Copies of this chain bind each other. A is one copy, B any other.
Amino acid sequence: MTVKERVRIGGRSARIQSAVHDAVRKLGALSTRNQITVPQIAAEAGVTPSTIYRRWGDLSALLADVAVARLRPIADPDDTGAVETDLRAFIEQYAEEMSSPVGQALMRDVLSALKEGLPSACAGFTCDHLTTLNARAKARGETPFDIDEVIDHVVAPIIYRALFSEQIPTPDYCNRLIDRIYLPARKRRTAV
């Protein structure tokens, strides 16, 4: 009986979470984030505002929670058959998504909440993808790349541009960043 009750509570809790997340996504598509209020979200989700305050604390924490859920990847990056083209394909798609108006808004929601751990969870999604690419490279007998180097010199400039600059990171720009990772190694191989 106790177990059954726990399961039932878990189920209701998950349903509330799902209804509130859906309401934020729906209202977010209709209006700008600064216009959304907790009572609106509650009405759309069919819960009381106090349910939202009790569970998430405040609006910015709820928006950040929804943003992290939306930034969480739903599939592994494409397998193109070789590590360098895998990386180029992943980065091109990543740059396009993160510099889109939706990607920018999600990053801002994550950063605005002042909740520790959420921004690094998002950075962790990117790191997980790069780790997947490297595991594939090793399985194929290829040399893996240095993940920290790709974070610092490919991912970071793309995110800096997406957040702080009016220049959108183009596919050409992304490829030039990756060239800096691969060209020196190629030159060393040619020299040997």
Contact = CB atoms under 8 A, between A and B. Distances in A.
B114 A111 contact: no
Q: How many copies does the complex hold?
A: 2
Interface residues of A, number: 30
A38 interface: no
A105 B107 CA distance: 15
A120 interface: yes
Interface stretch (A20-28, A88-96, A153-161): A153-161
A163 B119 contact: yes
A108 B163 CA distance: 11
A108 B108 CA distance: 8
Given A34-B60, A114-B32, A122 B155 contact: no
14 contacts: A34-B60, A34-B114, A108-B114, A111-B111, A111-B112, A119-B163, A119-B165, A120-B164, A152-B153, A152-B160, A152-B177, A156-B160, A159-B164, A160-B160
Interface of A: 32-34, 58, 60, 105, 107-108, 111-112, 114, 119-120, 122-123, 151-153, 155-157, 159-161, 163-166, 177, 180
Going nearest first, the 7 A-B pairs with the smallest beta carbon separation are A156-B160, A152-B157, A112-B112, A123-B164, A156-B157, A156-B156, A119-B164
